[in-house]
Each structure stands twice: as C-alpha cells, then as structure tokens.
Structure 1
Amino acid sequence: MTGPAGVLLPGFRGTTLPRWLAARLDAGLAGVCLFGPNITSADQLRRLTADIREHNPLALIAIDEEGGDVTRLHAATGSPYPGNALLGRIDDLALTEDVARQVGSELARVGVDLDFAPDVDVNSTPLNPVIGVRSFGAQPGLAARHSAAWVRGLQSAGVAATAKHFPGHGDTAQDSHLALPVVDVPLAVLRERELPPFAAAVAAGVEVVMTSHILLPQVDPAAPATFSPAILGGLLRGELGFDGVIVSDALDMAGASGTTGMASAAVRAIAAGCDLLCLGTDNDDRELAELEEALADAPAARRADAGARVRALAERLSRAPRPSFAGEGVPLERIVGAFDVRPGVRVERNRVLIALETVPNIAVGTSPWGPAAAGAQVLHATAESRPDVPAGAQPILIGKDNHRHAWIRDYADAVRRAHPGALVVDMGWPGEDRRYAEVATFGASRLAGQALLAWLEGTAR
C-alpha cells in the first residue's frame, strides 16, 4: 500500500463491493469500514470480505462491533452480548475477556480483522449523549481493568482492537457527530481520569487507538484532538508510549470537517499524527479522488510514516492465527445481578410494556433494543404519539437515558398520576433522579432485553 490511498478507510453503500471501490483496492486503498447496512447475513458478509481481499489481500476490513448497544453484525436483531457498562458492573475480568474473545472469533469467521472497539472512555457525566453504556464505568480504575481485558480477549482471536476515543469522550454533553465538544479541564485531570484506560489498553498491546473530535483548550487551544500534535504526539506517542496505528474517528463528523470540509480535515489529521483515516459511512469515488489529491500536499515524511504503520499492521493481521472459539453466552442471572433496582419496586401480573422511542445517536443507529429485540410484545411511545394504557394493567415504561428527554419525564409523571403503580425502567445510563430509573439495566442489547423480561417474570433475580 503506497501513496495517499494507503491511509484511507472509506465506507460505502450496498451489500456487494462497488466497482469503483474494487478498482481503488486494486490500486492500493488501505481498506474499508463496514456498517450495519452493508450486512444482511454471515454468509453474505463472508462473500463480501473475500471479494475485498481478492482485490487487495492486505486490505484492512474494519467494523464498529462493541458487543452491546453498538453492533453491526447484529444490527438487524440486536446484540447477544452484554455491553461495556454491564460488564463493568459485573466486574469479572475473566468474563469481560471471554465476551471480547467471542466477539473477536465471530468477526474473524466473517473475514473482519479490525474492530473499532473497545470504547474505553470514562463516562464521567450522566448527561453524555453518545458514550453512556458504551463505557465500562465512571471510575478510571474500573474502566482501565476492563479495557485491558477486552483488548486481550479480542486480540486473542486474531482481530485488532481499537481503544477509543483518545484522549477521552466521557466528560461531554455534546455528540461530536453533530458538534465540536469542549472538555475544558487541566492536563492533570486528564491524567487522573481520562488517560488510565488508554494506558491500560496500551500496556495490554492494543494495536490501534482512535482519536476524538474534541477540543481540550487547556492542552491545545487551537486544534481538536484529531488534529493536535500535542495530543497525538505528546500525550499518546510520548507519554503513553503507543507505537501502533492511530486512526481518526470518522472525518465526515461535524466535529472534524463541519467547518473545513473533508479534504482539509484529512490533511490536518495526517500532519498531526493520524496514520489511518476513517472517512464515514457513505463515501464515493469522486470523494476519494479529492482526498488523494489533497493528501499529496500533506508532509511527505509524515505521510510515509503513516502508510508504513498501516502496512505493517495489515501484514501482521494477515499472518495472525485465528483460533475458533465458541463461548457459552452469559447467564441471564449474571446480567440481572448487575441491574440497579430501587427498594420497594413491585411488578404486577397484569402489565403492559411501553417502549419510549427516542432518536438514537448516530453511533448506535437503529438496531432493535430491549424487550422488543428479545421478542416481547410492546407498545411504543414517542414525543409525538402516546399509546393508551389498557384498563387494569400496570404500565412498565422502558426507555434509554430517560433523564435527558423532557417528554419522557413529563409522560412518566402523567402516567404515574393516572396509574400510581407504574414502573419506569432505564436501559441507558441513568441520571441522579431515579424517579425515571426505578430499574436501571445499564444496557439495551437483545441480551439485556432478555434479562429484563426474565426479571419481570421473576425467573431471574
């Protein structure tokens, strides 16, 4: 892989390899990033990844498979794994490593060799709109232990792990897909709170670290992390001693290219220290041509170093053993044991489940979640439409991050006035006001939905 193409990782539309993308792989494109709409089945995905490697045997094939709310392999059904927040609450490092090994083995079987996981951010604010249950927890030490375990498990299956989003996306109340968040804290706070999970992942041998499109004015007042030599070179390469591949978060995000455009963002990212440029979900031939032309103006030594690091990673992964591993799954009792249930909560025999549907963040997408993903019959409430509660039934209101949505708080209050026995469940990261999280599950994957149903039925407590 040589030239500007050797640092580009585009997404594409469809479930088969487009001709334009095949031609660019023939010419040395670094690889591709797959998303839920690219996948219909394991067999289809194996054919797609084989086709990609037919055009470039060293192509990196990347995916966001976090093993919880963020899933691409199971985008149509919901994930069968517990996400990071549940694993952190269970706090069994062997289990975390085992789950990651199962994820890695599943990815290896379908031809994926680079996973943009784990999310090692410390979720230090419950108002975070994009991290939440993707985090192992709010305590740096806990997050560090489980980050290292997840890296070990995934990479034992021959799939490269990615610690993200450096130097930490946990202390934000904005989504960098939509804006440029600012984390205005001293470097000492970063070292104490945000950096320990990244340091633990580096010590565990993580192959890749992903940047964040976040401005840290007390570290670099001029450039977000993705474009900051002080953060990528000074903190990540220098202080943490990371010598692997630095990949940008998607450059089509507003926090990266919203004011400058993709071409300028690509050049700035390479110049700052990124090696591999994740471009987004829906790129095309014209856009890649523009990016390659722009990258010709990036510093030649930096571009050559980036290409060499990407090439070395691809060569290592092409030789990596991929042992088959079939896990036994996680017992529902262990998931239920990680729930936070307020004292005095009662579940009635005659009940109706009402899913509180909000606009999902871009990272999570539209995967089925909660009891509906687990096959239960539910009613649906939105900001615009609320179902009638059947007479005599206990309403079980089930949402995600309920405290962040005014209409959910108002709706829950109104339902309680009409039905004093109503129960409110939060399958996201709960806020401090537990009126809107009498039961907090810390995850909404299909497995978490199955566990919630078992808890409601009394078969797992």
Structure 2
Amino acid sequence: MTQSLGPVMLDIAGTSLDAEDRKVLADPALGGVILFARNVEEPAQVLALCEQIRRERADILLAIDQEGGRVQRLQTGVTRLPPMAVFGAMHATAPQEAIILAQDTGWLLGMEMAACGLDFSFAPVLDVDDERCPAIGNRAFSSEPDVVASLAGAFVEGLQEAGMSAVGKHYPGHGSVTLDSHIALPEDDRPFEEIRNRDLIPFERLASRLGAIMPAHVRYSRFDKRPAGFSSSWLGLLRETFKFKGAIISDDLSMHGAHIAGGPGERARAAIDAGCDMVLMCNDREAACEALEALEFDHERARRLSRLRYTRARPSLEALEALTRWRRTHARLQALGDS
C-alpha cells in the first residue's frame, strides 16, 4: 500500500500510544513514526508498540536511530554495537577482517531491528571524520573516504542480506564543520571540488545501493547559501549526477540548523520543494502538526518511500540466537564494546 503514505515522519511521547497519538496517526500527510529512547524498553515492548501503531495505520513506516556507539536507542535485549570508528581502526591493520565484520554487523542489526517490528534504522553514517565535528566523531567509520566507502558498503550489504534498506547520512558530509547542527547552523566554506573529492565519495559510490539518503543541516556556502536539506542544487546533484533513485529524508526539522527556513510549515515545504520525499519533525508535536497541515500526499514520493518497508517474514530474537552467524557476530561485537 502507498495510497496513504504521506511525507511527514514524527515521534510519539511514550512506550504506547495515547489518544493524541492516535489522532495524529489518522492524518493522511503522515507516513512514518521514529522511535526514540523514551519509546523503547526491551524488544518485546518495541514489537508490541510497532504492532499497536500498525493497527492504527497498517502502511506506516517505522524507524529508529540504531547506529551503534552513543547513537543506539534500544540497548536492552539486543546487541550493543560499538561506534563505527572501531571498524576503521581495525581496517588499518586487518582490512579484510574489518570488512567482513562490518557486513556481519549490518546483517545482525537488520535482523534484530526486523525482529523488533521496525522497517529500517537511520544507518549507516557516511560522513568522513576529520576530528573537528562534535556531532560526528566516532560515529564515522574513518577519516579516509575510501575506507568509509568500503566499510559502509559492507555494512549496507549486510543490511540488505537481512532484507532491510540502508539510509546513508549526512549528505554531502557533516564531518568537516566545528558546530553541531542540533544547536547551530554549521557552515562549510570549502570549495566544491574539495568536498567532491573527499566527503562525497562514499555517497557517490553507494548511491545505487541505498534505500534513502538524509541530507545535513549544514550550509556549504561556496556551492549554495541554503543548507543541503533545503537545496535543490545539492539534492539535484544526487538525482542527476549520482543517479540516486531512493528516497530523500530530511534530518529533523526541529533542529536549530533547520530554523533558517522559517516556521515549521515553511521548513517542511522548503525541504519538500528542494527535493526531499519525507520530512522529520520531532520532539515538538505542535510543529509536527504544522508540518502535517503544510504538506500533502504525492504518489511519486510515496512510491519511493514504500520501498523502505520491511517486507520479509520477521525473525524472532530467539530464532536469531540459534544462528551461528548471529552468535559469532554478537560475541565479537560485545568483545569490541568491552575493550
């Protein structure tokens, strides 16, 4: 079903739906719900919440930020993933081992999140870290674009083996600014060619394999005065030069870096007009409702978004624990996390 898959993704308040949540879920402009740490306790509760949401809206997309390291919303009852920089460090001395483990990690993450009832996680991070950006840091695989592309590509392959789409972020690269776009609008004043020859490499190489891409709330002023998520030039580059066919999902429009576009409805329209297929509006229900009012269903956007839905039979966590691959990968990741 795509007929009611609208362009807005928002959040809910708790671990189960309340009357206000049910009212919002009925809005035809809604297409997805993202879960945060306050919404999750353990896998059975997350699965029950996902089923509760789907009883209200059967076609809804359900997502989570489950990257590993400090960005892992569900931490109980699933594998604790290390930050992705661990794979980059491993790659320096044992590249093939790192690539295999990154692929196994993508598979494990995909299978565990599918077992919890989710459609996808906003992962992997494709930013190239240069040790300047507090928002990225060890969330990035490496400071070398070729290594990021190789490791993230393996991670994506693992997700695909699990039947889950990959979402690359934060296009065209958030790793070379000193400010955090959650609390400010960072500016990257490097020439386009420098960005093209470094930060864009992972996005260009993986564009054909990603289900979605999330643009950054960063202004790359030598290319466009608008932040990437509001820039038809940056998003057009994805479509026209990189031949990206997947969905483009904005970063959270409640973040400070997005406020340059105006009020909530104006931000939502600006992102969609620039080329986004879906907008995130989180931690501000009033703003989310304004975004719902500002946007309408569009068949082409819904078609791209519908490809993010998890369509396989969902595994159970108990069944996963019986698989040799899961046990081996889980043990290795736990050891890395403890080291």
Alignment partner of 1:319 out of 311, 322, 328? 311
TM-score, normalised via structure 2 length: 0.88
- Alignment match, 2:279: 277
Q: Give, in angstroms, the shift of residue 217 of structure 1.
A: 1.1
2:292 aligns with 292
1:105 and 1:229 mapped to 2: Cα distance?
A: 35
Residue 230 in 1 paired to residue 233 in 2? yes
Q: Give 2:217's aligned residue.
A: 213
CA gap of 1:290–1:331, structure 2 versus 1, over 3 A, is closer
Cα distance change on mapping 1:69 and 1:318 into 2, 3 Å: closer
- Find the aligned partners of 2:113 and 2:218 in 1 and give their Cα distance: 29
8 Å contact from structure 1 (residues 31, 61) kept in 2: yes
Q: What's 1:306 paired with?
A: 301
Q: Write 1 or 2 for the structure with the bigger share of helix.
A: 2
CA–CA separation in structure 2 for the residues paired with 1:14 and 1:283: 14
Could you tell me which runs of 5 or more consecutive residues in structure 1 were left unpaired when the two chains were aligned. 336-445, 452-461
Cα 1:10–1:57, aligned 2, differ >3 Å: closer, same or farther?
Answer: same
Q: Distance in 2 between matches of 1:44 and 1:158?
A: 22
For the 8 Å contact 1:82–1:447, the answer to whether it is kept is no
8 Å CA contact 1:212, 1:225 repeated in 2: yes
Task: Work out which structure has the larger RCO, using CA pairs closer than 8 Å and 6 or more positions apart in sequence.
Answer: 2
Deviations 1:105-126 (A, max 9, x none): 11000101121000010002x1
Query: For this pair of structures, how many residues does the alignment match?
Result: 324
Partners of 1:258 and 1:220 lie apart in 2 by 14
Aligned 8 A contact 1:65 1:116 in 2: yes
Aligned match of 1:143 in 121, 143, 148?
Answer: 148
Pairing 1:380-395 to 2, within 5 Å after superposition: none
Task: Look up the match of 2:121.
Answer: 115
State whether structure 2 residue 195 is matched by structure 1 residue 190: yes
Q: Taking structure 1 as reference, are residues 43 and 321 closer, same or farther at Cα in structure 2, changes over 3 Å only?
A: closer
Large movers: runs of 4+ above 4 Å? 76-79, 321-326, 329-332, 446-449
1-structure distance, mates of 2:78, 2:51: 25
In structure 2, what is the Cα distance between the partners aligned to 1:167 and 1:149? 20
Question: What residue number does 1:10 align with?
Answer: 10
Q: Where do residues 342-421 of structure 1 align in structure 2 (5 Å cutoff)?
A: none
Alpha-carbon contact 2:80-2:337 (below 8 Å) kept:
no
Deviation at 1:200, TM superposition (A): 2.6
Q: Deviations over 1:378-430 (max 9, x none)?
A: xxxxxxxxxxxxxxxxxxxxxxxxxxxxxxxxxxxxxxxxxxxxxxxxxxxxx
CA distance in 2, matches of 1:182, 1:77: 39
- Relative to structure 1, the CA distance from residue 258 to residue 319 in structure 2 (aligned partners, 3 Å threshold; closer, same or farther) is same
Whether contact under 8 Å (2:250, 2:280) holds in the other structure is yes
Residue ranges of structure 2 left out of the alignment (5+ in a row): 92-97
Give the equivalent residue in structure 2 for 1:40.
41
Q: Determine helix, strand or coil for the equivalent of 1:6.
A: coil
Matched residues in 2 for 1:318 and 1:288: separation? 25
CA distance in 2, matches of 1:161, 1:69: 19
Separation in 2, partners of 1:259, 1:331: 43
Separation (CA, whole Å) in 2 of partners of 1:96 and 1:132: 18
> What do the CA deviations read for 1:289-315 (whole angstroms, capped 9, x no partner)?
32222225xxx9xx55323322x325x
Contact 2:127–2:169 (Cα < 8 Å) also in 1: yes
Give deviations 1:84-105, integer Å, cap 9, x for gaps. Answer: 1001221221110001111111
For the pair shown, the structure with the greater C-alpha radius of gyration is 1
Question: How many percent identity over aligned positions?
Answer: 35
Q: Distance in 1 between matches of 2:170 and 2:312?
A: 25
2:270 alignment counterpart: 268
Write out aligned runs for 1:59-70 (5 A).
59-70=60-71
Q: Please report how far the alpha carbon of residue 264 of structure 1 lies from its aligned counterpart in structure 2 after TM superposition.
A: 1.0
- TM-score calculated relative to the size of structure 1: 0.66
How far apart in 1 are the matches of 2:330 and 2:112? 19
C-alpha separation between the residues in 1 aligned to 2:23 and 2:169? 31
Q: Does 1:19 align with 2:19?
A: yes
Q: Distance in 1 between matches of 2:79 and 2:73?
A: 9
Distance in 2 of aligned mates of 1:141 and 1:250: 28
Moved more, 257-266 or 177-186: 257-266
1:168 equivalent in structure 2: 173
Question: CA offsets, 1:264-298, max 9 Å, x none?
Answer: 11010000000011112x242x44432222225xx
Residues 67 and 449 of structure 1: CA distance in aligned 2, closer, same or farther (over 3 Å): closer
Which of residues 158, 178, 182 in structure 2 aligns to 1:153? 158
Alignment of 1:129 with 2:134, yes or no, is: yes
Is contact 2:264–2:288 with CA below 8 Å preserved after alignment?
A: no
In structure 2, how many angstroms separate the alpha carbons of the residues matched to 1:77 and 1:219?
45
2-structure distance, mates of 1:160, 1:308: 15
What does residue 328 of structure 1 align with? Answer: 327
When the two chains are superposed, the root-mean-square deviation of aligned CA atoms in Å is 2.4
Amino acid paired to 1:89: A
Separation (CA, whole Å) in 2 of partners of 1:265 and 1:24: 19
Aligned letter for 1:240?
F
Letter of the structure 2 residue corresponding to residue 232 of structure 1: L
Name the amino acid aligned to 1:160. Answer: S
Q: Where does residue 249 of structure 2 map in the other structure?
A: 247
